[in-house]
Chains A and B, each alone.
Chain A
Amino acid sequence: MSFNVPDDLRYLESHEWVHTDGATARVGITDFAQDELGDVVFVELPDGGDNLTAGEAFGVVESIKAVSDVYAPISGTVTAVNESLFDRPELLNEDPFGDGWMLEVEVGDEGELDELLSAEEYRDQIV
């Protein structure tokens, strides 16, 4: 089994990704994570304006067979929530790096990004 690991993202060992564009970061779970979970049926996310702390759980993803916490790759304030996941949680399976994104965050400390895994390091972890 080979998994999609886009080169332009940074990763957390617990299988979350982050994509930064200036001070805005988009966050989601990886292709490997969605495959491990199987059919995702429920997503619980914070509200806009909530604060995330790097390394702490910010939400929950439930598949038919499992419940999994989702951890914040970086700290910051939530500026957008992908509300389409509430009605179509299967987007996390179908397009985890695209339509299945979870949150956008205004990044507090860009230095935290250096703590995250590169695509190559993450690829090594999931082999």
Chain B
Amino acid sequence: MTLRQSPLAGVYEDPTLTDFGGWEMPVEFDSIRIEHTAVRETVGKFDVSHMGQVTVSGPDALELTQRLTTNDVAKLSPGDAQYAGITDADGILLDDTVVYRLPDESDDDYLFIPNAGHDGEMTERWVTHRDEWGLTATVTNRTEEYAMIALQGPEAQDTLTAETALSPDSLGRFEVASGAVAGVESLVARTGYTGEDGFELLCPASEAETVWSALNCQPCGLGARDTLRLEMGFLLSGEEFNPRDEPRTPYEADIGWTVALDTEFVGRDALAARKREGVAETLVGLELLDRGVPRHGYDVNDADGEPLGHVTSGTMSPTLGVPIALAYLPTEYTDPDTPVQVVIRGEPKEARTRATPFIDR
């Protein structure tokens, strides 16, 4: 299989590359720690062109997207965005996404961002349901047309202001506007995946280099993107949920706040039942007290060594200097400071549950 290439692939100087969701993407430019710290303390830029872009337009664009995402799309005014789950009829997360209602001047009505490698499958899902429900909407997979750049950190607004005629300070959290960045017509959203203030920019793939080069700050790879999101307890598709290996509802994944049960969507009835009955397992934060690094798949035991669950993601937190993880555990373990064990190479290591986000944001 040939890996998909970002439109920025030719621009980087000597990055370490990785295969992520069928894309060849930079994992590290300088070091994960340097890049992570830049975003927490100043500002960094990420090439996130592996994220999908699917537009939905036409008279039934709202109804179609409402019926395929868990949140209430009807609440969005032009220029608003919301985080949502995409679930199957059993309420199992197939993907998580941000749904944008595009500004009035845009040619399209809605845009949503599937995770890396899910763009084809999600476009197909929208098209199939549109036809099944007899709705009128144009669904277009624009992933290859767009580059996506995330600019994140407390100084992101200053960095962006220097390159755009827009007033980034007038853009609220989860708002989107269109405007030129470095002279390139772009969509600018105040969204991100790091816990810091920041923006995500969508621009034509052919002009991505102009935008990327104009943003004068630390380039960051997927390695730092992962440590930053993990410190916030944000989900990563494929790790915290995956319909094959980790089938989870939004309630188990601790994003129940994205589920608008008063709307009609695929999975709603199953999720209403789950909410009524309560869930047996929930995603919780862990801090390892012994030395070591918790990683995906490691077993988690109770303090007496009895099996409880497993780690979905873990790392050494660059901000806190302690090993942290997310794990699905019986719901009674959601209380912070409950002692547990993480089994690393056969050795039980002492850990405790922690509230997420791990850092104060």
Q: Which residues of B contact A67 (CB under 8 A)?
A: 293, 295
* Alpha-carbon distance A62/B16, docked complex (angstroms): 17
Pairwise interchain contact B14-A64, C-beta atoms closer than 8 A: no
Q: Is the CB of A38 within 8 A of B293?
A: no
Chain A hits for B323, CB < 8 A? 41-42
Whether A64 contacts B345 by the Cβ 8 Å rule is no
Chain A residues closer than 8 Å to B32, beta-carbon distance: 38-39, 64-65
What sequence of 0s and 1s flags, for each residue 51-67 of chain A, a beta carbon within 8 Å of any chain B beta carbon?
Answer: 00000000010101101
Q: Is the CB of A65 within 8 A of B316?
A: no
Tell me whether A38 and B31 are in contact in the complex, defined as CB-CB below 8 angstroms, given that A1-B14, A64-B223, A64-B318 are known contacts. yes
B241 to chain A, nearest CB (A): 22
Pick the residue among B28, B291, B345 that contacts A38 (CB under 8 A): B28
Question: B291 touching A86 by the CB < 8 A rule?
Answer: yes
Residues of chain B within 8 A (CB-CB) of A39 are 31-33, 316, 318
Cα separation A41 to B353 with both chains bound (whole Å) = 21
B292 contacts chain A at the CB level, 8 A cutoff: yes
- Interface range for A: 10 to 19
Give the contacting residue for A65; candidates B223, B291, B292; CB below 8 A. Answer: B223
Kindly provide the distance from the CB of A63 to the nearest chain B CB, expressed in whole angstroms.
8
Residues of chain A with a CB closer than 8 A to B159's CB? none
Q: Determine the distance from Cα of A86 to Cα of B292 in the docked complex, in whole angstroms.
A: 10
Alpha-carbon gap, A39 to B318, bound state (A): 10
Q: Are B223 and A41 in contact (CB under 8 A)?
A: no
By the criterion CB–CB under 8 Å, are A62 and B293 in contact?
yes
User: Chain A binding site: helix, strand, loop or mixed by DSSP?
Assistant: mixed
| Residue ID in chain A nearest B318 by CB atoms | A64
Give every chain A residue within 8 A of B227 (Cβ-Cβ).
64
A43's nearest neighbour on chain B, judged by CB, is B291
User: Closest chain A residue to B345 by CB distance?
Assistant: A60
Q: Inside 8 A of A93's CB, which chain B residues have their CB?
A: 31
CB-nearest residue of chain B relative to A86? B291
Query: Once bound together, how far apart are the Cα atoms of A1 and B28, in whole Å?
Result: 15
Give Cα A67 to B345, complex, Å: 11
Q: Is the CB of B293 within 8 A of A41?
A: yes
A42–B14 touching, CB < 8 Å: no
CB distance from B319 to the nearest CB of A (A): 12
Asked whether A64 lies within 8 Å of B295 as measured between CB atoms, the reply is no
Question: Distance (Å) between the CB of A41 and the closest chain B CB?
Answer: 4
Q: Mark B34-53, 1 if CB is under 8 A from A, else 0.
A: 00000000000000000000
A41 touches B316 (CB 8 A): yes
Most chain B CB within a 10 A radius of its CB, from A39, A64, A67:
A64
Q: Are A42 and B292 in contact (CB under 8 A)?
A: yes
Known: A1-B14, A39-B33. A64 touches B316 (CB 8 A): yes
| A107 vs chain B, min Cβ distance (A) | 28
Confirm or deny: B259 has a beta carbon within 8 angstroms of a beta carbon on chain A.
no
Contacts of B295 in A (CB 8 A): 67
The reply on B115 being an interface residue by CB < 8 A is no
Closest to A41 in B: B316
Tell me the complex Cα distance, A93–B34, Å: 13
Proximity string of chain A (7-32) to chain B, C-beta cutoff 8 Å, 1 when within and 0 when not: 00000000000000000000000000
- Chain B residues near A42: list those with CB within 8 A: 291-293, 316, 323
Question: Please, which residues of chain A bring their CB within 8 A of the CB of B27?
Answer: 65
C-alpha spacing A42/B342, complex, angstroms: 16
Say yes or no for B186: interface residue by CB 8 A criterion.
no
Whether, in the assembled complex, B315 has its beta carbon less than 8 Å from a beta carbon of chain A, the answer is: yes
Known contacts A60-B345, A64-B33, A65-B32; is-contact A38 B14 (Cβ 8 Å): no
Per the 8 Å Cβ criterion, residues 294-347 of B in contact with A are: 295, 315-316, 318, 323, 345
| Chain A residues, Cβ within 8 Å of B291 | 42, 86
Nearest CB of chain A from residue B286's CB, rounded to whole Å: 16
Besides the contacts A64-B315, A64-B318, A93-B31, what 17 more A-B pairs have beta carbons closer than 8 Å?
Answer: A1-B14, A38-B28, A38-B31, A38-B223, A39-B316, A39-B318, A41-B323, A42-B316, A60-B345, A62-B292, A62-B293, A62-B316, A64-B227, A64-B293, A64-B316, A65-B27, A65-B32
Interface CB pairs A-B, < 8 A, 10: A38-B31, A38-B32, A41-B316, A42-B292, A60-B345, A62-B292, A64-B293, A64-B316, A67-B293, A86-B291
Residues of chain A having any CB pair with chain B under 8 Å = 1, 38-39, 41-42, 60, 62, 64-65, 67, 86, 93
Of all A-B residue pairs in the complex, the 3 with the closest CB atoms, nearest first, are A41-B316, A39-B33, A64-B32
